Amino acid sequence: MYLKTLHLKQFRNYHDQQVEFVAPKTILVGDNAQGKSNLLEAVELLATLRSHRALRDRDLVLDGEQVGQIQATLERHESPVDLALTLRSNGRRTVSLNSETLRRQLDFLGVLNAVQFSSLDLELVRGSPGERRNWLDTLLTQLEPVYAYILQQYNTVLRQRKD
């Protein structure tokens, strides 16, 4: 599976940016605050529907706008796939696969697989058990999307026990 194109519309600091990945490897180079991490965050969102640095979708949408979108084309063994995630400042999301809106966001997971490594990952060994669990949850959700559903149920039960 290869990420071939990425189209960022009103996502973070990007107004309308199409990116094509033509080489086997890509290195992003840029000044501070130009949007390197934002681009990686877009890929992370397509892979996991989560961002490790945004708490609310409002932060992901270009300032002053209501709606943003991340689109991508993947090359896969079988056939190419189009993915789109629409983010709204009110928090409602829409996900689509090959231009078809999915009723369950769960079906979006596991299509694009990504691994992220940063210096913060040292927290995996040095940090709290909570951080390790969170990391494992993200990994398992990609390998086995139904895990996202089980996790959601588990968290609901956990919350109810505390109430």
Q: What residues make contact with ligand ADP under the rule CB under 6 A?
A: 12-13, 30, 32-38, 59, 61-63
Q: How far is the CB of 10 from ligand ADP (least distance, A)?
A: 8
- Residue 70 belongs to what H/E stretch? strand 67-75
Establish if 13 lies at the interface with Mg ion (CB under 5 A). no
List the x/- string, 20-39, binding to Mg ion by CB under 5 A: ----------------xx--
Q: How far is the CB of 110 from Mg ion (least distance, A)?
A: 27
**Secondary structure class of 56 (helix, strand, coil):** coil
What CA–CA distances, in Å, run from 19 to 56, 122, 135, 140?
Answer: 25, 30, 28, 28
Distance CA 20, CA 94 (A): 23
Q: How far is the CB of 8 from ligand ADP (least distance, A)?
A: 11
Distance CA 74, CA 70 (A): 13
**Nearer Cβ to ligand ADP (59/121):** 59
**Nearer Cβ to Mg ion (17/37):** 37
Residues 36-95 that bind Mg ion (CB under 5 A): 36-37
**Nearer Cβ to ligand ADP (45/109):** 45
Of 99, 98, 134, the closest CA to residue 116 belongs to 134
**Nearer Cβ to Mg ion (36/52):** 36
- Residue 141 belongs to what H/E stretch? helix 129-143
Q: How far is the CB of 76 from ligand ADP (least distance, A)?
A: 27
Distance CA 73, CA 81 (A): 6
**Nearer Cβ to ligand ADP (37/138):** 37
DSSP conformation class of 62: P
* Site residues, Mg ion (CB under 5 A): 36-37
